[in-house]
Amino acid sequence: MEYWNSTLGSGFILMGILNDSGSPELLCATITVLYMLALTSNGLLLLVITMDSRLHVPMYFLLGQLSLMDLLFTSVVTPKALMSFLRCENTISFGGCALQMFLALMLGGAEDLLLAFMAYDRYVAICHPLNYVVFMRPRVCWLLVATAWLLASLSAFVYTLYTMHYPFCMSRKIRHLLCEIPPLLKLACADTSRYELFVYVMGVTFLIPPLVTIISSYALILCTVLRMPSSEGKQKALVTCSSHLTVVGMFYGAATFMYVLPSSLHSPKQDNIISVFYTVVTPALNPLIYSLRNKEVMGALKRVLGKYML
């Protein structure tokens, strides 16, 4: 089989969902609206958490980090996909593909760990309220966030470096919305079976411990909530936890499909649909899920907007 020089050639061609859709213009408009919603909602949430001193607590500090990750994640993928479709130019350079893969893996990995830390925060707040200021003091919060960013960056760097070292065949078409490991390995002109097994094992390793932490935390939280004498306290705890669990379900559902399910169960169409879900839909919905049912966030939003509008 003939090879092409991916480092000196014109790079890859991203054949995402916009190219395979029966109504690409309608889908493009929908993705644009969702992207603008993601920018607006996450930007507002970050502004409110930063400006309102009442939200300067660990729970909202971690929520602000989640909004930042969602904002960056969708911006790594969506503008490129939309501009490529509108300009009818779907190419991406070798270096651009590597950078996009690194950023997507880093932000996804960081969010994976952050969701576990957020579950731990809720566990301490509800199950050990008297020790909350000790267990979740500012230094601990910064350490948790730094750990998420650092481990995710190291993992993404190794994955990207190893994936991009393969020689690629004449076909430069990546049938996916973005440069990701599974669709890119299909273009490799080498045996990738061992690496695919490594990706699978590491995917399980990276996803399962945080997921176990989340499930354990909420199981203990549920036991504590059921013993609460105050119905108002129960309702507040359940609203907060249900919002987090909804976000967890969306994130881990998509991540499991892409990196845990065997490649034989994947199809380009399914992968494209899932990629739109976790790169566009989830970042747009996350801030709405957390804020619409949260009286503290809505109250802070009114105060901040009222302050700037007066």
Q: How far is CA 132 from the centre of its chain?
A: 27
Rounded distance between C-alpha atoms, residue 89 and residue 95, angstroms: 17
Angle ∠(27,30,35) on CA atoms, nearest 5: 125
Mean pLDDT computed over 251-267 = 74
Query: What residues pair up with 173 in beta bridges, in sequence order?
Result: 13
pTM: 0.88
Average pLDDT over residues 278-294: 84
| Whole-number Å distance between alpha carbons of 113 and 248 | 11
Strand order in the sheet with 173-174: 91-92, 12-14, 173-174
Most confident of 102-111, 166-175, 293-302: 102-111
Exposed/middle/buried for 64, CB within 10 Å: 0-12, 13-18, 19+?
A: buried
Q: What's the farthest any 2 CA atoms get from each other in the chain?
A: 72
List 3's β-bridge partners, or say none.
169
Note whether 129 and 59 are within 8 A (CB).
no
Which residue matches tokens 């919603």?
37
How far is residue 274's CA from residue 260's CA, in Å, rounded to a whole number?
Answer: 14
What CATH class has 13-300?
mainly alpha
Contact 73, 112 (CB under 8 A): no
Residue whose tokens read 């013993």: 227
Across the range 45-49, mean pLDDT stands at 91
58 in Cβ contact with 121 (< 8 Å) = yes
Tens digit of each residue's pLDDT (9 = 90 or more) over 183-216? 888 888 888 888 888 888 888 888 888 989 998 9
Where in the chain are the domains? 13-300
282-292 vs 231-259: helix crossing angle, rounded to 10 = 170
Task: Tell how many helices (H) and how many strands (E) occur in the chain.
Answer: 12, 3
What is the average pLDDT across 271-298?
Answer: 83
Q: Concatenated DSSP letters for 33-89?
A: HHHHHHHHHHHHHHHHHHH-GGG-SHHHHHHHHHHHHHHHHHHHHHHHHHHHHHHT-
- 3-16 pLDDT tens trace: 454 544 568 888 87
Supply 64's token pair: 């602000």
Instruction: Name the most confidently modeled range: 205-219, 237-251, 265-279.
Output: 205-219
> Of all helices (H) and strands (E), which one includes residue 138?
helix 138-163
